[in-house]
Amino acid sequence: MSLEFTVLIPARLASTRLPDKPLADIAGLPMVVRVARQAALSKATKVVVAADDARIVDACNAHGVHALLTRVDHASGSDRLAEACAQLGLADEAIVVNVQGDEPLIAPDLIDAVARTLADDPDAAMSTAAHAIDRLEDFLNPNVVKAVLDGRGHALYFSRAPIPWWRDGSAVGGAAALPTAPPALRHIGIYGYRAGFVRGFPALPPAPVESTEALEQLRALWHGHRIAVHVSHHAPGPGVDTPEDLARVRALLATAA
């Protein structure tokens, strides 16, 4: 069955750790343009950047990337996506994949898998991805978000805590080893939605667990919506949050060139 979907890339100019992050040069291209070009290698019928600043739109246009100017005062990327869906006039059932604007090494086949996971699951309002954690330090790291799934591959919960935690797996001072049955899963921050759900999501009241964990996807679970999870065999390429991350990605691309 053919799969049609739109990739939306929210891009916000302000960043406390890396000013003007979407425009940061990576191998001769602004980062947001490089993300869009990676996304264009997927099976998406359209790739659109949803920007909060005309400089991002201008940079995209200069490189042949479709970009929309959205409001500067959106509280989250989801709000920006909702406006972009409205501007594009997407039908409620249209599938949208949200690719973060700081993932210049995003794998096109991961984008396709997230779109397909949602298309194949009419009970899910959203889809996302995860992969097995292979390092104990990542399992224990609160900056690494973990996911636990049910028998149908839907998310039961996302947490910064090391989950699932097993009763007899502790040693003095912490965990002795990674859980293997089921394996610990690291959440990958890519999402699929139906456009109608995106438009309604900002109106859902924030959930207490969302505020506690600082994880917006918990709002969907709190309100009873299912999130289908594609489990990838590969970890994603590094994202860019800091100047150090930017240097690492530049070095990786220089080595690959």
Domains of the chain, by residue range, sit at 5-256
Tell me, what's the pLDDT at 174? 58
Q: What is the CA radius of gyration of the chain?
A: 18
Work out the burial of residue 156: count CB atoms within 10 Å of its CB; fewer than 13 is exposed, 13-18 middle, 19 or more buried.
middle
What is the spatial distance between Cα 133 and Cα 235, in angstroms, rounded to a whole number?
9
Q: Which residues of the chain have pLDDT under 50?
A: 172-173
List CB contacts of 16: < 8 A, sequence separation 6 or more.
none
Which residue pairs from 51-55 have beta carbons closer than 8 angstroms and sit at least 24 positions apart in sequence? 51/11, 51/12, 51/13, 51/22, 52/11, 52/12, 52/13, 52/14, 52/80, 53/12, 53/13, 55/13, 55/23
pLDDT reported for residue 176: 64
Looking at residue 249, its pLDDT comes to: 94
What pLDDT, on a 0 to 100 scale, did the predictor assign at position 257? Answer: 64
The per-residue pLDDT for 194 is 96
Which fold would CATH assign to domain 5-256?
A: Spore Coat Polysaccharide Biosynthesis Protein SpsA; Chain A (3.90.550)
| pLDDT value of position 217 | 96
pTM of the predicted structure, to 2 decimals: 0.93
Tokens of 130: 């995860």
